[in-house]
Structure 1
């Protein structure tokens, strides 16, 4: 997982008016908390933060260069965006330390080509794991190469890197390999037609 360095500033003004002024200045209001410390109110550079999330994902480790203080390591906990205008309104950051294990959700990527005449249904897009803060995998891959219809892959069967443990329910259905619905409908339709034909013959 990538580590991104961001210059940040502390905030001394709070409330909706102060938040609007922060955003007008090209920054994002944020709160850094964790390890029992008092929350720190910060402002993040909007363009740089958005680029970090876009290029490295929400689990990117952020090195926060706090003006007038020592650098802090953090993970993005939540991002609040405007429902209509789609800009970032506020960010919650979680303080972490090198070597510390954290629980995060990681995207799943299905690779390979299943057996002919099958349909691959990805039931969940991400899964919760525990990993060292500086070694969070960017994604977890699930191979469906030549997998036959009727196969169901659960969270317990997802391959995890060394040092990573699953936190999601192991029985969670992740990928379901089925036959195309069209074929099943066609078969059902043929059976119904034959049955109707039988009724008509009986009546005649």
Structure 2
């Protein structure tokens, strides 16, 4: 997994006005919490943080908080709904060797049988992984799967040491015959029906 070092500054002003001033200065308000400690309020450099957050479950080494380094995971990221800039981030303090629950992406590979399509029900699953060895995602092949087949969370092959938290019976993906292919038959049937109707009218 990716690991990024980032410098923090203590935050002494609070409220919406203070948050706006911090963002105008290119900084993002954040809170560190976890391991029984009181929440610690800081600001982080906005550009560096934005780049780091492009990697799912990125591990941050935050310097400058009470004179020590903190290993943290982003747990809640708030963005402006219109402009998309970072508004606030909650950071969970973790320690090497401990397990944390995170969401990882499910990437389907391969092609299903001809005339069918795959529908992904879950794009992520929750897993428990060691804080410094969180996988970015998990791949599962749907190569050759036919109409009616499905994939459940328990079918996913997770890396060693990673445990599934999501219900193993939860559907991740299903395979169905293409609607276009199914729609062709009724159209043909409709043509036959029209022909029969025309024949009947002629007989009359």
Fold shared per TM-score above 0.5: yes
CA contact (8 A) 1:58 1:76 kept: no
Q: CA separation in 1, counterparts of 2:172 and 2:17?
A: 44
Aligned length in residues? 202
Aligned-residue CA RMSD (Å): 1.6
- Give 1:86 deviation, angstroms: 1.1
Distance 1:119 1:97 in 2: 43
Q: Which residue of 2 aligns with 1:98?
A: 96
Cα distance in 1 for residues equivalent to 2:112 and 2:191: 32
SS at match of 1:80: strand
Structure number with greater Rg is 2
SS in 2 for 1:71: strand
Gaps of 5+ in 2: none
Residue deviations 1:55-87 (CA, integer Å, cap 9, x gap):
xx2301110012551100100001111111111
- For the residues of structure 1 that align with 2:42 and 2:107, how far apart are their CA atoms? 34
- 1:174 equivalenced with 2:187 (yes/no): no
1:73 corresponds in structure 2 to: 71
CA distance in 2, matches of 1:67, 1:95: 12
Tell me, in whole angstroms, the C-alpha distance in 2 between the residues paired with 1:166 and 1:143.
18
Unaligned runs of 5+ in 1: none
Partners of 1:135 and 1:189 lie apart in 2 by: 55
Contact 2:122 2:172 (8 Å CA) reproduced:
yes
Please give the secondary structure, in 1, of the residue aligned with 2:186: helix
User: Offset of 1:146 from its aligned partner?
Assistant: 2.0
* 1:97-132 alpha-carbon deviations (Å, 9 max, x no partner): 111101110011111222222212222211111111
Give the TM-score, by structure 1 length.
0.92
Q: TM-score under structure 2 normalisation? A: 0.92
